[in-house]
Every structure is written in structure tokens, then in C-alpha cells.
Amino acid sequence: MPGGRQVAAVTDAHFDVAEGECLALIGESGCGKSVLASALLGLLPANARTAGHARLGGLDLLTADERTLARTVRGRMIGLIPQSPAAHLTPVRTVRSQLEETVAQLTGVRGRAAVRAAGRAAAARAVFPAGHLDRYPHELSGGLAQRAATALALVGGAPLLLADEPTTGLDRDLVEHTVDELRRHVDTPADTPGSSSGDTRRALLMITHDLAAAERIADRVAVMYAGRLVELTDAKAFFGRPGPRHPYSRGLLQALPDRDFTPIPGMPPELGDLPAGCAFAPRCERATEACGIRPRTTDSVACHHPHLTEGIRA
């Protein structure tokens, strides 16, 4: 915009997600997680700019045109569980009609009875009650809207599932059911073009604040702070021992009620006003003069003073 300023919402985000893997992307609100998800699907505002590459099945998502994204990527190559599910549901269509339309468009199911049965099955996977299928989005609670969006995202069996806060508004039992269903989705062979043996598995990128859900489902964990990835590591090592290496990552775990319940001091910086060096330095008890220079990523952690092998209290 004329007279406006540019803000680097996400910078240097280097990672991959393998077949059969769940990568959990975690970090405080406003750090750029959902912006990253929007970039992969071509859903950024018109004045946003992207650079780099995001490759899926030979296609660069960041340079694909809108026609390709709409007809080939969204729903077919990437299934999305959106952060604000009610806003993504069609307001003048019932949940049943949206599920059945998605089944007809993305699967090989044909015939009225078969499509209707497939829609009910999709709802059941997400524990969406059959008695609410004929309701409109405005008649749903936040948790029901979340379950409807999950059901829609799973219908196409896309090779990559992008779940942006998929457990919002759910009680603990439903959280566990949802992440278990997402795990089954990842572990189930995908019907992808060129795979005759059915041995190609799906991948899941889950953006979440729910660290308990991440621990339950993730193979690896990526931690984002102020628009940058600061740590990428194995989930068992992250949640167990030796624990996270970046002080911010460790602070996230120590803030949990079942851990130390100690909040990270201070507030995250504004993305438009980042310090010259390490963005976490003003909140970090390990910071020194060296942190005035932006740290390079070494051994999957971007920190001048990472924790080494000492564990974190379970």
C-alpha cells in the first residue's frame, strides 16, 4: 500500500514433511504459523509477496497460478482444516450438502445413495453428530464447526493435510479422538497418481498451541518465533530427554501446567519492529552480547547458547 511498510511475516522457513510423517509447528500467537499455511495454499492477501519454493509433487506452490491452486491443489493435493472453520463453511448450505458435494467432487463415489453414505461416514470420522447434518453453519457451536471442517478436509484423502489449530473448541476426549484420526489419516496409504501398489502414505503439517496434542501425534516438532524457525527436532527428544535445545522452546514446555507452570517473561516482538540480532534475546536469561547478531541454524537450532544434553523436568 502507498505509504505503508513491509513486514516480513515469515523468513527463512526451511523444512520438509515426509510421507507418513506428522510435523507439528508450534509457537505463540502472531509468530507467523498461519501466514505460512496461507502461503502454501495461495490464500494470502493480494498485497502479500512470497519468495523461495514450496514443492509438492513437482509443483511449486508459491508460483502456481490461482487456476492451478483452485482446481488441482486445494482439496486434492492439500486438505485444509482451517483455523476459523465457521468462516470457511458455506453459510447457505447445510453441513450434509457440503459434505456430499465434496465427496462427489473429490472421490470416485457415484450414485445418490453411495454419496450420501460416504458423507455420513466422513462426519462419523470427525465425530460430527448425524442429527446435526442438516444444520447450517450459523447453527453450530465452535466445536461442531471445527468437527465439520475436519470431516470436509479428510474427504479427499489429499497427500498433504494442513491442520491449522484442529483441536480448537474441543474437549479433551474429542481432542484425543481428533488427533488419533489425523494420525490414522497419515498412516493410511493414499491413492495418489502413479502409485499402483498403494504404498504411498500421506503427510500432515499440524499448526497448534496444544502441546499435549502435538506430543500425542507428532514425529517431529518445528518451533517458530517472530517469523523464524528456531528449532526443528524429533518429537520424542523434544517432549522427553534431552528436551528442547532452544531457550524459547524450553520455555514453552516449562509453561505447561503439568511441568513447571512458569510463563516466559515479557512479550513477543512486533514483526515490523524486530531487534537486529536474536529476536528472543530480550526475554532470554541466557542472552549475552553475542545475541546482538542473528544466530545461524546449527544442528537444527538457531541459538548462540542452546541447551546441550541436560534434560527438562518431566
Query: Could you tell me the CATH number of the domain that includes residue 152?
Result: 3.40.50.300
Residue with cell 495454499: 41
d(CA 120, CA 151) in angstroms, rounded, equals 10
Co-location of 210 and 243 in the same domain: no
Q: What is the pLDDT of residue 2?
A: 45
Q: Are residues 163 and 253 in the same domain?
A: no
- For residue 184, the enclosing domain spans 22-188+197-218
208 and 245 belong to one structural domain: no
Residues 270 and 158 in one domain: no
Q: Choose among 199, 203, 127: nearest CA to 163.
A: 203
Strand partners, 160: 78, 203
* Same structural domain, 208 and 267: no
Beta carbons within 8 Å of 111's beta carbon, 6+ residues apart: none
Residue 70 confidence (pLDDT): 94
Show the cell assigned to 283.
526475554
Give every CB contact of residue 126 below 8 A, 6+ residues apart in sequence.
Answer: 147, 148, 150, 151, 154, 178, 181
pTM tops 0.95:
no
Residue 228 lies in a domain: no
What is the C-alpha separation between 239 and 22, in angstroms, rounded?
15
Three-state SS letters, the chain? CCCCCCCCCCCCCCCCCCCCCEEEEECCCCCCHHHHHHHHCCCCCCCCCCCCCCEECCEECCCCCHHHHHHHHECCCEEEECCCHHHHCCCCCCHHHHHHHHHHHHCCCCCHHHHHHHHHHHHHHCCCCHHHCCCCHHHCCHHHHHHHHHHHHHHCCCCEEEEECCCCCCCHHHHHHHHHHHHHHHHCECCCCCCCCCCCECEEEEECCCHHHHHHHCCEEEEEECCEEEEEEEHHHHHCCCCCCCHHHHHHHHCCCCCCCCCCCCCCCCCCCCCCCCCCHHHCCCCCHHHHCCCCEECCEECCCCCCCCCCCC
Look at residue 188 in the predicted model and tell me its pLDDT. 84
Tell me, yes or no, whether 170 and 248 share the same domain. Answer: no
In a domain, 256, yes or no: yes
- Total of domains in the chain: 2
**Cα dist. 279→33, 128, 185, 275 in Å?**
16, 42, 36, 6
3 located within any domain:
no
User: Do 254 and 202 belong together in one domain?
Assistant: no
Take residue 75 and report the three cell numbers written for it: 482439496
Q: Domain for residue 14, yes or no?
A: no
Closest CA to 274 of 47, 48, 35, 9: 9
177 and 257 together in one domain: no
**Chain Cα centroid distance, residue 264:** 23
Rounded Cα distance, 224 and 15, in Å: 12
In-domain check, residue 12: no
Residue 234 lies in a domain: no
- Same structural domain for residues 144 and 206? yes
> Do 259 and 183 share a domain, yes or no?
no
In a domain, 304, yes or no: yes
Residue 225 grid cell: 518465533
Do 58 and 142 sit in the same domain of this protein? yes
Residues 81, 175, single domain; the answer is: yes
**Judging by DSSP bridges, how do beta strands 220-225 and 22-26 pair with one another?**
parallel
Split the chain (314 residues) into runs of 10 and give each run's mean pLDDT.
Answer: 72 93 95 93 92 93 95 94 90 97 93 96 95 96 94 93 93 93 88 50 94 96 97 96 95 92 93 92 96 94 86 43
Domain assignment present for residue 227? The answer is: no
